[in-house]
Amino acid sequence: MVQEKILVIGACGQIGRELTAALRLKFGQQQVLASDIQAQGNLSADMYPYFRLDVTDAAALETLIAEEKITQIYHLAAMLSASGEKNPKKAWDLNMDSLLSVLELSVKYNVKKVFWPSSIAIFGPDSEKISTPQQGVTEPTTVYGISKAAGEYWCKYYFDKFGLDVRSIRYPGLISYTGAPGGGTTDYAVDIFHHAVEDKPFTCFLKEDTVLPMMYMEDAIRATLELMDAPKDKVLVRTAYNLAALSFSPQALTEEIVKLVPDFKVVYAPDFRQQIADSWPGSIDDSAARTDWGWEPAFNLEAMVKDMLLNLKELQEN
């Protein structure tokens, strides 16, 4: 059996840290090479082996894939929705050029499997709002969403044309206690917990009734590993799979937090991110993922809030 050598690109991010750790548990610490544009100086010991890589440097990426004999790539580096609106051209260049380099080099060096995440940001104001279907109107309104929609078709193109086994998920907003969120429209749902455990009031940048699809990181990591483990012939969607777990508004999340932190207060001051959120679905139909590779979420809102507060309090005390 060939031993896997896995490259994670964007390993220092909100998803990257947790996905790298999960892959190392599964494949072994040395078999998973973490990479990111971030300098090595601030990294904890568990991030090694680590390689500092600017993924837009295609020559450096090629050398790494060739020299390390990479067999699988998880390409997570991207500029997210809110940051992308402040810097559209840079977001497009990073998100698109890096994906095309990864796809091209994966074919050239016979990389066996590639994971690249898409997002609910591919949907737009004319998409169905409730139970948004796998296939339907997309029409993204952010440069981030446009890059994800185009990226999905590039993934399918490389699968159809070159047989590259590239797999993808349209992640909803992800909630985790380890890393800071990276400039997305759903970041409020992480920041709110930090304020709750620090006994500080929270100012929410979305309106109280803005319902968005969300997921606890533990579920998202498991979904990613399950999709990548699925037999090739079960992965029927070669753009990206819809994936769902929770849908809630800032108000519903606050009510759940208040059950455990009774004095917690939230005020609402919507900013430019409200318009992005308004263009996104409220809930997602993920029946294709459930049917094709058996996806099922484990965390409901109550369980997620309990787990987030518990873990953040523990981190605060240590």
Minimal distance in Å, beta carbon 192 to ligand NAD? 14
Whole-angstrom distance, CA of residue 53 vs CA of residue 37: 5
- CB closer to ligand NAD out of 258 and 278: 278
Sheet holding 118-119, edge to edge: 118-119, 169-171, 241-242
CA 12-173-192 angle, 5° bins: 85
Q: How many chain residues touch ligand NAD (CB under 6 A)?
A: 27
Q: Is 158 a catalytic residue?
A: no
- Cβ contacts of residue 228 below 8 Å, gap of 6+? 72, 113, 115, 167
Minimal distance in Å, beta carbon 190 to ligand NAD? 9
Residue 72 one-letter amino acid: Q
Cβ atoms of residues 231 and 298 within 8 Å: no
Residue 37 in contact with ligand NAD, rule: CB under 6 A: yes
- CB closer to ligand NAD out of 50 and 159: 50
Binds ligand NAD by CB under 6 A, chosen from 7, 13, 212, 305: 13
Cα 154 to chain centroid distance, Å, stands at: 18
Residue 140 in contact with ligand NAD, rule: CB under 6 A: no
Quote the tokens at residue 229: 């483990």
Binds ligand NAD by CB under 6 A, chosen from 47, 53, 244, 308: 53
Whole-angstrom distance, CA of residue 271 vs CA of residue 175: 21
For ligand NAD, what does the binding mask look like between residues 15 and 34, x meaning CB under 6 A? xx------------------
Q: Is 284 exposed, middle or buried (0-12, 13-18, 19+ CB in 10 A)?
A: buried
Residue 12 in contact with ligand NAD, rule: CB under 6 A: yes
Place of tokens 């959120």: 277
Minimal distance in Å, beta carbon 121 to ligand NAD? 7
Cis peptide before 201 (omega within 30 of 0): no
- CB closer to ligand NAD out of 213 and 259: 213
Residue 96 in contact with ligand NAD, rule: CB under 6 A: no
CA distances to 110, 232, 267 from 107, in Å: 5, 17, 50
- CB closer to ligand NAD out of 90 and 260: 90
Minimal distance in Å, beta carbon 3 to ligand NAD? 25
Maximum alpha-carbon separation in the chain: 58
Q: Which residue's CB comes closest to ligand NAD?
A: 13
- CB closer to ligand NAD out of 150 and 261: 150
Residue 173 in contact with ligand NAD, rule: CB under 6 A: yes
Residue 174 in contact with ligand NAD, rule: CB under 6 A: yes
- CB closer to ligand NAD out of 214 and 305: 214
Minimal distance in Å, beta carbon 289 to ligand NAD? 15
Whole-angstrom distance, CA of residue 267 vs CA of residue 228: 41
Binds ligand NAD by CB under 6 A, chosen from 8, 33, 73, 78: 78
Q: Which of 50, 144, 188, 241 is catalytic?
A: 144
Whole-angstrom distance, CA of residue 242 vs CA of residue 265: 34
Sheet holding 173-175, edge to edge: 173-175, 212-216, 246-248
Residue 84 in contact with ligand NAD, rule: CB under 6 A: no
Given the rule CB under 6 A, which residues bind ligand NAD? 9-10, 12-16, 36-38, 53-56, 76-78, 80, 94, 117, 119, 171, 173-174, 182, 184, 186
